Amino acid sequence: MAEVLVFHHGHGLTVGVRDFAEQLRRAGHTVHVPDLFEGQVFDSLEKGMGYVQDAGFGTLIARGTAAAEKLPAELVYLGFSLGVLPAQKLSQTRPGAKGALLLEACVPVAEFGGAWPDDVPVQVHGMDADPFFAREGDVDAAHALVETAADAELFLYPGDRHLFTDSSLPAYDEQAAAQVSHRVLEFLDRVR
């Protein structure tokens, strides 16, 4: 089974993120879910992003890196939206990465130093009309990643919701989230 490090989104470590991690555990995977917001959960994305602005994106990424340093190198990194920043950085730069699962965000590979590692498979998931994913460059970064990486897949789901995979938020889309879960579990079975 795979060992997975999950990074939460801009609301913080919500019940929905914990539930997603528990799904992976029930499938037999070892899952770690650090709290990058130090116990704070925000009822709106705007408030959560305000916290991130005050703390700094670099601080968030450093907290994610610190969480990874306590674990074996052979991890799959999974990030929800904002959590894609540490997940993608570690997937690209930390030796031993087994895979990357980027949910509802993707940044240009150049952001973390160049080419995607040939031995790190990656999946990107997002809604095709999500104003954050589809209209702020993430989908373009995902297409570029799929074109250049040795083992990369992009899955687009119909809809305009951001954080549709979090069952504790109003944007949750049960059908699309079930497809994401199925594909994530298949990916984890393949890379273990």
Q: Tell me the CATH number at 180.
A: 3.40.50.1820
The pLDDT value given to residue 132: 94
Q: How many domains does the chain have?
A: 1
Kindly report the pTM of this predicted structure: 0.96
Cβ atoms 180, 23 nearer than 8 A: no
Give per-residue burial for 149-165: e unless 16+ CB within 10 Å, then b.
bebbebebbebebbbbb
Q: Are strands 76-80 and 99-103 parallel, antiparallel or unpaired?
A: parallel
The pLDDT value given to residue 113: 85
117: containing domain? 3-191
The pLDDT value given to residue 33: 98
CA distance 108 to 106: 7
The pLDDT value given to residue 182: 98
Q: What angle do CA 154, 160, 162 make, to 5 degrees?
A: 75
Q: What angle do CA 110, 80, 143 make, to 5 degrees?
A: 40
- Largest Cα span, the chain: 39
Low-confidence ranges of the chain (pLDDT < 50): none
